[in-house]
Structure 1
């Protein structure tokens, strides 16, 4: 059944009343505050609260979503129900309309204060391709890959909002096995198209979050671009995992799509063989039918599907906490590169160019092996909504700037 808002909504925007993603925005001369996207507007929740139209325990006149996220699932559900009521009942129009601000009049900020950042490696196609590139004579997957969601801890201090320029990083790299390492700007700068989820309700140290407890702790989903300096990464990752090749920048989208908006997007996850250990087993569908789109300088280069991810978000969260590590409000967990079996479904240039062995030709005829200075990478994603339309995540963009001397 379609829910119709009195706010004019363009179906192509993905910001109908079935979505209502949360973000943080500001206007010139004003402090940041929390809002939700509806059509071509942001609905000012701090303004609604001051007018007595929504409950607010100091949640919305804030520079991040963390205060609201820690309030928990009951508060999230109640606020969502109230917003749907306000935006669909014509009787509320006169009191709500003054709090609608055109998106063109605001600056969208990073929506959360990030506590910890974990990046997984959950796409079977991506992991297989990476294994074939770097271990052409061996098994593409490591022995543990189908038994647990492989991940690394990233750096929360370099997670930036959409639109933040990305300065090309410098570091050690080695061109071939026969050469000594050299220092300089990365020559293999890459993007990684990912989907992340954000924790709201924390967990106690020494406890764990079961797969069935996912919805009690997780507030919503964002798009993630985990920028990667492949030459720095591959030289330093011997024998430990990623460090400087990843920690210079990770971008997230400005809107956090709540779990409730993605109910219609839930699909059965791929069959897992061998069967995972009991703490990783999931009793309900937790694949997500998200259609991703990757653009370089406004030109589409790939369209991966998130539904094919081997490890699901509840499994990722269960594994991240199984050792008793506490969950904190603002923890960000990214999926790892989203890739599919076809070339036009690969989610990074490492795969699209086979580590620089094959040029990627853009629609305008230009070619890339890796990113060049001035390139703008944009990620988009949509999902089916409960009303039959599409749920949007908003654009996630970043432009590459030259390395600092």
Structure 2
């Protein structure tokens, strides 16, 4: 009996030909980095396949980074995706394509793009409300500006790391309300933030804002993101200028970028807005809904602790992009922006330990003991899927990281 082709992906596989996320890989025998496309349990060496087929896209796909493809723009993204879909679905291409498929467990995955700038937002009303209640129990949960603009801050691009990279526990100043003076040492409130990240492809001109309608012209795709947070360091330092050392030590991203086109069936309307928006943020008349129905799962040491729903996010990625450029700030290829912590209305939908434990008041039970915040040796994994065409599921590449002791 002839051996089944790796391109014959089992029905229901979330990484079937309807998905085709992009990454960058090397192998144990050859450390040269190259663009890969995930199909089932295999990775297609996209550049080698393009060359074997005489494709005009061999130059874009034969690179050690996604950046040239990102910079090529929306028309190229669409055409390359159509070509890749044909290569993995047309039996006539199999003799040329199959030699360039490698099992997932035989490749090493790398950060797939060169990060330019990094911006992180605060776009979940449920998360922002919980945080407000924790830190301002006698005041309004939401700040006065929250429903008028997507609140964000500029982060540190140099410490964005690919999934699987260990996270060293950060040290810094911290001061509890009852402490007379600050102390220095490793964070004792190390946390996660379950987020979705977006990567910019086509750049924009300095001084020219990107409107809501320009989102798909500039954003290539999305991925899972964990913005690790040292809550005790952050609480002492963030007034009045905001997050700094409590956030800048590590941000983990998936090794796989799912193109926006793969998520057409996951588009969904954002929650109803109860405050009128200024014109540059007003998406009420948009033809395509700006939200994405992504179902996220958060696990610690292999045990599920939360399922945050991305569909509940108040501010959309298109609004975030419009806001971050409305002052004339330009976009660069490889810019990354994070959604902010994803949390839903239920307790089991909270995307941070800060909320799940109510700032350490209520421990969560794991098979290896109780947790309020992360301990050395803990491994956090985010996974997700979205509705795909014809009842399929689109899988997002996981993002995982293990905490190691402070140095």
So what's the TM-score if we normalise by structure 1? 0.96
Tell me, yes or no, if structure 1 residue 380 matches structure 2 residue 380.
no
Q: CA deviation at 1:56?
A: 2.7
Match of 1:18 in 2: 18
Question: Residue in 1 aligned with 2:126?
Answer: 125
Q: In 2, Cα distance between the equivalents of 1:163 and 1:355?
A: 27
- How far apart, CA to CA, are the structure 2 residues paired with 1:275 and 1:77? 35
Aligned length: 399
Secondary structure of 2:185 counterpart: strand
Does structure 2 retain, via aligned residues, the 8 Å contact 1:190–1:227?
yes
Query: What displacement does 1:366 show?
Result: 1.9
Counterpart position of 1:290? 294
Which residue of structure 2 lines up, in the alignment, with residue 7 of structure 1?
7
SS in 1 for 2:358: coil
The answer on 1:149 being equivalent to 2:144 is no
SS state of the match for residue 344, structure 2?
coil
The structural deviation recorded for 1:353 is 0.4
8 A contact 1:26–1:108 mirrored in 2: yes
Partners of 1:348 and 1:46 in 2: CA distance:
39
Shift, 1:57, TM fit? 5.9
Equivalence map 1:64-83=2 (5 Å):
64-83=65-84
Q: SS where residue 403 of structure 2 aligns?
A: strand
Segments of 5+ residues of structure 2 without an aligned counterpart are none
Give the distance between the partners of 2:369 and 2:388, measured in 1 at CA.
36
RMSD: 1.3
Aligned to 2:113: 112
The partner residue of 2:343 within 339, 342, 350 is: 339
Q: CA deviation at 1:87?
A: 1.3
Paired residue for 2:323? 319
Name the CA distance, whole Å, in 2 between partners of 1:54 and 1:309. Answer: 40
CA deviations over 1:170-203 (Å, ceiling 9, x no partner): 0000122442100000000001000011100000
Q: CA deviation at 1:83?
A: 1.1
> After alignment, is 329-338 or 11-20 more displaced?
11-20
What pairs with 1:177-188 in structure 2 (closer than 5 Å)? 177-188=178-189
Which residue is equivalent to 2:262?
Answer: 261
Task: Look up the match of 2:190.
Answer: 189
1:306 to 306, 310, 326: 310
In 1, distance between residues paired with 2:124 and 2:316? 10
Contact conserved, 1:27 with 1:106, CA < 8 A, in 2? yes
Q: How does 1:349-388 map to 2 (within 5 A)?
A: 349-362=353-366, 364=367, 366-388=369-391
Distance in 2 between the 1:215 and 1:230 partners?
34
The match for 2:31 is 30
**By how many angstroms is 1:52 displaced?**
3.5
The 3 A distance-change label for structure 1 pair 11 and 129 is farther
Q: Is the partner of 1:114 in helix, strand or coil?
A: coil
Q: TM-score, normalised by structure 2?
A: 0.96
Q: Deviations over 1:193-246 (max 9, x none)?
A: 000111000000000110011001110001100000000001001111000000
What is the alpha-carbon distance in structure 2 between the residues aligned to residue 348 and residue 205 of structure 1? Answer: 35
Distance 2:294 2:56 in 1: 32
Alpha-carbon distance between aligned partners in 1 of 2:359 and 2:268, rounded to the nearest angstrom: 32
